[in-house]
Structure 1
Amino acid sequence: MFNTCLRIPEAGIAVLGIPKCACQSVWSAVIEAVSGERPDDPPRHPVIAERRCTAAEAKAEGLFVFAVVRHPLDRLVSLWGNKIAPAGSGDKTRTRGMKALQKQGYTLGASFSQFVGEVAERRDINQHTLPQTEFCAPGGVWSVDELIRFESLPEGWEIVRERWPALPALPHRNPSARGDWRGMYDDDTGSLARSLYRRDLILLGYE
């Protein structure tokens, strides 16, 4: 799953999926454009398996690579809310993600501050907590041609649709019911999270 692109050769592009950066929504849109289906479980849809590649492979094929990026501290809050915070039963992808995190030592139902502390101990073993720059600039080498900000996603997605008009408007999967992510941080958790994602903050232009 790390550094997973979807080839769209009919448009000369590829889209790099970064977990908790509208990845499910982007993949759903690609599946709908290719198959006409609206998938319940995008990662398990055959279109994903057929079109999956690495960003390096997409670049070698001459495809123009897009990626959606997000403020790393917002992404961390989203992950906690979707897969760690106490909640009712979720969809298949949420359930799989919860089980994977639990196996890696994360505490389901943990407070946000506890979760941030656990991320500090095991950040690099799960794709959801791995820094975004490990996807779009592994080894310090950029593997994408254009970044689309999550914060202005509707406008950014239109740039992709101009290249491939068959794409639908972006569906909103895994919407957050929480307010401003900044309110989740105190001085200690904010300082720790910023140190964990310092490279993302700088290279992605969030600081």
Structure 2
Amino acid sequence: MSRPDEDLSPEVFRTRPGNRRRLTPAAESTLEGLSAAGEESGWLSPLAYNLTISHSHRFVWYRVAKVATRTIRHHCETHGVSLDVDHAMRVRYPLAAFADYFTFAFVRDPLDRFVSAWQDKVVNANYYDFDPATHERMQEVEEFARWTAAQDLSAVPGTDQHLTLQSRMIDLNRVDFVGRLETFDRDFAEVCDRVGAPAVPTAPQNQTAPGGRDRQVSDELRELVGQMYRRDYQVFGYPRPEP
């Protein structure tokens, strides 16, 4: 007898019109049924991920926040790549149903990513809803790093996606291709080639101002980020920052 997820059409999975973060009721019901039928069966991915899925181009993109997500999405929107699961958050997915889809993700140096998150979510906004006095203290990136170090950066859900370990946001056992922001043009062209999409250059969206990292890095920050993101440095081979 076949497994339920082997008979399942991946095209059941779509996000709602007008709400790109939530799956349609039919998709949610399908996942609930798989979970209830066999929590220990391995039909669903053991962990949840932030997913974007295209059925027309047959890919699953594990989105890693602060790593060209808007640029990739903008490229898809402007070049006719349908995003049937657009911006789903913390989703466990049926493994066999997507076995023949191309899976990819992008990562970046953890120190660059951390400074980008701080600049975007703390300096330019108050995304974490700090009280005024705390928000003033958080204008120092080292203070924000100390606060972040107290979080469980492997917890999904539980930790903000902009700070979560990149290695936790990707199904490392099933990903076909991991590109790097540092070589984005080359790596994204390879992704486009694999999924049959145009590989024309796309202007970066929501990019941190050039030179931001160089102005902010201190020995304390290097040490804190090196400790917090030790697993990312190990998994993706970036040189760990030395104080």
The answer to whether the superposition gives a TM-score over 0.5 is yes
C-alpha distance in 1, partners of 2:64/2:198?
22
Task: List, as ranges, runs of 4+ consecutive aligned residues in structure 1 with deviation greater than 6 Å.
Answer: none
1:46-85 deviations in Å (ceiling 9; x for gaps): x565574858547741211110100111100101111111
Paired residues for 1:103-114 under 5 Å: 107-109=134-136, 110=138, 111-114=140-143
1:103 to partner: Cα distance: 6.2
Residues matched between the structures, number: 183
Match of 1:30 in 2: 76
102, 114, 117: which is aligned to 2:129? 102
1:107 to partner: Cα distance: 4.3
Which structure's relative contact order is higher, taking Cα pairs within 8 Å and 6+ residues apart? Answer: 1
121, 126, 138: which is aligned to 1:83? 121
1:170 to partner: Cα distance: 3.0
C-alpha distance in 2, partners of 1:84/1:180?
14
Paired residues for 1:17-56 under 5 Å: 17-34=63-80, 47=83, 49=85, 52=88, 54=91, 56=93
In structure 1, what residue type is equivalent to 2:168? Answer: E
Match of 2:57 in 1: 11
* Structure in which a larger fraction of residues adopt helix: 1
Larger Rg: 2
C-alpha distance in 2, partners of 1:117/1:15?
31
Query: RMSD of aligned C-alpha atoms?
Result: 3.1
Structure 1 residue ranges without an equivalent (≥5): 37-46, 88-94
C-alpha distance in 1, partners of 2:210/2:169?
26
Instruction: Confirm or deny: 8 A CA contact 1:5 1:55 kept in the other structure.
Output: no
Match of 2:8 in 1: none
Instruction: Confirm or deny: 8 A CA contact 2:112 2:213 kept in the other structure.
Output: yes
Does the C-alpha gap of structure 1 residues 12 and 176 become closer, same or farther in structure 2, counting only changes over 3 Å? same
C-alpha distance in 2, partners of 1:64/1:195?
32
Structure 2 residue ranges without an equivalent (≥5): 1-20, 22-47, 154-158
In structure 1, what residue type is equivalent to 2:59? Answer: I
TM-score by length of 1: 0.75
Match of 2:187 in 1: 156
Instruction: Confirm or deny: 8 A CA contact 1:59 1:143 kept in the other structure.
Output: no
Match of 1:70 in 2: 108
